[in-house]
Structure 1
Amino acid sequence: MTENELILNQDKKRFELEVEGKTAFIEYILSNENIIFLTHTEVPRELEGKGAGSAIVSKTLDYIKEKGYTLAPLCPFVASYVKRHPERKEILAKGYNV
């Protein structure tokens, strides 16, 4: 694995991003309707303020768009990111807003 490569860890149901030897992650639930619910984002304390949180959200949203899924941003960090980047709202699942 190369640093900054988004990993889909299906066993743990989370997206992972390794930065400086530490792993940030976003937990998800994939529905039968191809909606990805992003439920929790966690960034190691050593990476706080270094852009790791924004990087993993951005890469995860790219993955969701590439796969043709829609997004249900249940995690406040993800919702805040989408709100700050309105161009990302195009992948929001029907009935969801930020």
Structure 2
Amino acid sequence: MDIRREDEGGRGRYVTEIEGHEAELTFHKEGSRLTIDHVGVPRALEGRGIGTQLVAHAVQEARARGETLVPLCPFARAKMDRHPEWQDVRGE
């Protein structure tokens, strides 16, 4: 799956397009801290693990960029809670 990052000022998102549908993880940024405020997957793509893949990609990118992730979004929070190996990039 091709996931790209888009930054615009203090906001941004990770986005992928599958079968003409767009799934995204949105965040707002303060320095090296990204607060994940939404993970959205269209109904047509539900059940494929795409939301989890978006969060996993954000974790990998945060490690590479020296950023921390604050999972405000309940979905992102639940995923990060289930993955102890992701805690190194978690901020609160």
Same fold at TM > 0.5: yes
Does the 8 Å contact 1:6/1:60 carry over to 2? no
Task: Using structure 1 for the length normalisation, give the TM-score.
Answer: 0.84
Task: Using structure 2 for the length normalisation, give the TM-score.
Answer: 0.89
Aligned partner of residue 59 in structure 1, secondary structure: helix
Aligned partner of residue 13 in structure 1, secondary structure: strand
**Between Structure 1 and Structure 2, how many residues are aligned?**
90
Q: CA RMSD in A?
A: 1.3
Residues 19-68 of structure 1 show CA distances to partners (whole Å, capped at 9, x for unaligned) of: 23321101111102x10111111001001111111111111111111111
1:18 aligned residue:
17
1:82 aligned residue:
80
Does the 8 Å contact 1:39/1:74 carry over to 2? yes
- Return the alpha-carbon distance in structure 2 between the equivalents of residues 58 and 20 of structure 1: 21
1:41 aligned residue:
39
1:30 aligned residue:
29
Among all aligned residue pairs of Structure 1 and Structure 2, give the percentage whose two residues are the same amino acid.
Answer: 30
- Return the alpha-carbon distance in structure 1 between the equivalents of residues 51 and 34 of structure 2: 18
- Return the alpha-carbon distance in structure 2 between the equivalents of residues 83 and 44 of structure 1: 23
What code does the residue aligned with 2:5 have?
A: L
What runs of 5+ residues in structure 2 fail to find an aligned partner?
none
